[in-house]
Amino acid sequence: MNNTDWWRGAVLYQIYPRSFKDSNGDGIGDLPGITEKLDYIASLGVSGIWISPFYKSPMVDFGYDIEDYCAIDPMFGTMEDFDALLDGMHARGLKLVIDLVLNHTSDKHPWFLESRKDRVNPKADWYVWADAKPDGTPPNNWQSVFGGQAWRFCSRRGQYYLHQFLSAQPDLNVRNPEVQDALLGVAKFWLDKGVDGFRLDAVNHCIQDAYLRDNPSRPENERTPDRNFRHTYDMQRHLYDKSQPENLDFLRRLRALVDAYDDRMTVAEIGDDNNIAQCIEYTAPGLLHTAYSFSLLTERYGPDVVQSMVGAFREKGAKSWPSWAFSNHDSKRAATRWAIQSRPDTRQVKMLQALLCSLWGTIFVYQGEELGLTDAKIPYEKMQDPFGKFAWPEDVGRDGCRTPLPWEQAKPNAGFSVAEPWLPVPKEHQDIAVDAQDKDARSPLNFFRSFLKWRARQQALVSGDISFFEPREYVLSFTRNGLIAVFNMGDREADYTLPDGTRPLDGHGLPYALERNKLVLPAFGGFFGEPG
């Protein structure tokens, strides 16, 4: 690979800035806190970081409701703090990918404040507005991702505006060329600052059906463990409110802008009924570099899940490049979500770290995943997530995966802040803080560091192609340009017959036993080898 392709096979560490490190004692993480911990990030062996939004925002959705795309929210610091962070990262050879939210703004954004004034102002068509039906009901049946109808009536304009997320997040009219130009201007601002790429939030939502047609209902036979009809959003097939073909023309314009700069990249966040197909479509030549899928953020677990998703991308999108994650700020942590018999297990944590970083594609590791953090249980009175408050108690929302990172075992709030944090630090996280794991050679943290060092020496695991063997019970096996990888995803011993002459590649840290070509993997064990 040349430097232009640095993102292929990169491991990017996702930082949720509110919860990473508080530097000024207000209980909320900030940019100087990230800068303070850059040596820690570099010690992990990752290629760079993706930072969730830090723009000026009313924080109704904690930064994904943007009031000013080109300003730092004071709770996170200043533009000088951002410059210091970027310089510190580049000095350590780390790349910086920032969130770019193109689908919606805050309802406090000056663009929306002007747009809502009347139907004839210069920005009247910058958001998705539509007339009510004759009986006053919304223009169609579209539902918000966060629950309830996706339309809110504005009495000043006498129209509804679309909000596919919270009502405080009105959808931009990205069909409008002026809006596209404004968004490309935002991207140019940050490219000129020197960022290395963009994670494009909810990017397949950006353009909707021009006729605002109703979505069809989802039949009962499509009910799955991940779609259980608790929320109205899950009751529809989303044919018209997102993933429209016209969106690709806008993304070609964005790609052309990014390509005018050296060594930059784009990664799409895709949430759709057909995640893999959409990821492939959005990463076709001339579009985005890679796509971030929800496919492995599922409740379902096992070799068949991983193989079906990664294998489908490889089979149908061989000329595209995927991205994978097992956890993020919107999903329950993998250590909890995939715990067998609901018992988080350090052995499983290590195996999942190695498995994720062995897949074909660009890898995203969520902060705390290197520690094996579990989802925290947040009492209702301390909940912050608006979706969690809306859906409680059937769905507790996203607070459990967003609690502060524990830095020091013996300090109040695990050393995250001298003040009470915006979300509590659970005791089970304090017990496995960074400083405690630093001292333990067998900790998940030290395993993660050593595995990434070992991975960096195996070029096949960084950029090689992938081909799967038939999955067997809890055993997942595949090759990466001839390198053989076998993982026992179960909590019982499993055996596996390797091709004759296979030689083990040691140094990865997962347990196994080998006699000739008979491989025995203990619970959550793993093996890497090469042909004889």
Helix (H) or strand (E) run with residue 130 in it: strand 129-130
Rounded to the nearest 10 degrees, how much is the dihedral formed by the CA atoms of 485, 489, 495, 501?
0
Average pLDDT over residues 457-472: 95
296 has pLDDT over 80: yes
Percent of the chain with pLDDT over 70: 98
Helix (H) or strand (E) run with residue 520 in it: strand 518-521
Report the interhelical angle of 275-282 vs 303-316 (nearest 10°): 30
* pLDDT on residue 3: 60
Q: Residue 87: CB partners within 8 Å, gap ≥ 6?
A: none
Give the Å distances, CA to CA, from 185 to 82, 191, 200, 249, 493: 19, 10, 15, 17, 56
pLDDT band at 201; cut points 50, 70, 90:
very high
Asked whether the beta carbons of 188 and 180 are under 8 A apart, the reply is no
* pLDDT on residue 357: 98
Tell me which residue of 422, 427, 410 sits closest to 376, measured CA to CA.
427
**Nearest-angstrom CA–CA distance, 393 and 455:** 42
**In CATH, which superfamily holds the domain spanning 3-106+176-455?**
Glycosidases (3.20.20.80)
Kindly tell me the sign of the dihedral angle through the C-alpha atoms of 323, 329, 333, 338: negative
Strand partners, 269: 292
* pLDDT on residue 227: 52
Structure tokens at 370: 């290197």
* pLDDT on residue 386: 84
pLDDT, averaged across the chain: 95
* pLDDT on residue 401: 96
Tell me which residue of 131, 133, 135, 111 sits closest to 122, measured CA to CA.
111
The model's pLDDT over 4-54, given as tens digits with 9 standing for 90+, comes to 799 999 999 999 999 999 999 999 999 999 999 999 999 999 999 999 999
The model's pLDDT over 134-151, given as tens digits with 9 standing for 90+, comes to 999 999 999 999 889 999
* pLDDT on residue 289: 97
Q: Which of 231-240, 389-398, 429-438, 458-467 has the lowest mean pLDDT?
A: 389-398
Structure tokens at 189: 């601002």
* pLDDT on residue 226: 54
Average pLDDT over residues 172-179: 98
**Catalytic residue annotation:** 201, 269
Residue 269 is classified by DSSP as: E
Q: Which of 467-471, 487-491, 527-531 has the lowest mean pLDDT?
A: 467-471
Average pLDDT over residues 86-100: 98
**Nearest-angstrom CA–CA distance, 398 and 388:** 7
Q: Which CATH architecture has domain 465-530?
A: Sandwich (2.60)
Helix (H) or strand (E) run with residue 311 in it: helix 303-316
Asked whether the beta carbons of 523 and 491 are under 8 A apart, the reply is yes
* pLDDT on residue 393: 77
Average pLDDT over residues 207-236: 82
For the chain, residues classed under CATH 3.20.20.80 are: 3-106+176-455
The model's pLDDT over 224-234, given as tens digits with 9 standing for 90+, comes to 655 555 688 98
Q: In what order do the strands lie in the sheet with 494-497?
A: 494-497, 518-521, 513-515
For the chain, residues classed under CATH 2.60.40.1180 are: 465-530
Average pLDDT over residues 420-445: 97
Residue 107 is classified by DSSP as: T
Average pLDDT over residues 375-383: 93
* pLDDT on residue 230: 65
* pLDDT on residue 1: 44
**Nearest-angstrom CA–CA distance, 337 and 30:** 28
* pLDDT on residue 224: 61
Q: Which residue has the higher pLDDT, 386 or 296?
A: 296
Average pLDDT over residues 443-452: 98
Write down the number of H helices and E strands in the chain.
15, 21
**Nearest-angstrom CA–CA distance, 498 and 366:** 33
